[in-house]
Amino acid sequence: MDFNKLNTELYQLSAPHRFSKKPTELDKGYLKIADWLGDVCFHFEQKRKNQEKSDEEKFKALIHNYRDKINELDDSEYKEGLLKALREAQ
């Protein structure tokens, strides 16, 4: 889910309630939940970004560990092929 897009859409949908000349209780209720949803979207977007960073670090560590194991092999075309594929993955 794209939380930034959802947050933008919710903000745009709240415009009639946000700029009402005579705000009603419906407007106040709508804006209360719209603001809360904006906070929830922000929280989950940050959580997603942090998870992506963590996953990327794990991926890079896995490749690094595998490269170390490959480097223990005797020199050969096969070894070069393995290393070339790992380089291209990064």
What pLDDT is recorded for position 72? 96
Per-residue pLDDT at 90: 76
Instruction: Look up residue 44 and give its two tokens.
Output: 């989950």
Under the banding of pLDDT at 50, 70 and 90, the label for residue 1 is confident
Say what the pLDDT of residue 89 is: 84
- Listed in sequence order, the residues at least 6 apart from 82 whose beta carbon sits closer than 8 Å to its beta carbon are 70, 73
Q: What is the pLDDT of residue 54?
A: 94
Domain ranges, residue 66: 3-89
- The total of structural domains in the chain comes to 1
Q: 89 or 78: which carries more pLDDT confidence? A: 78
Provide CB contacts within 8 A for 73, sequence distance 6+.
79, 82
Q: According to the 3-state scheme, what is the secondary structure of the chain?
A: CCHHHHHHHHHHHCHHHHCCCCCCHHHHHHHHHHHHHHHHHHHHHHHHHHHHHHHHHHHHHHHHHHHHHHHCCCCCHHHHHHHHHHHHHC
User: Per residue in 10-68, pLDDT tens?
Assistant: 999 999 999 999 999 999 999 999 999 999 999 999 999 999 999 999 999 999 999 99
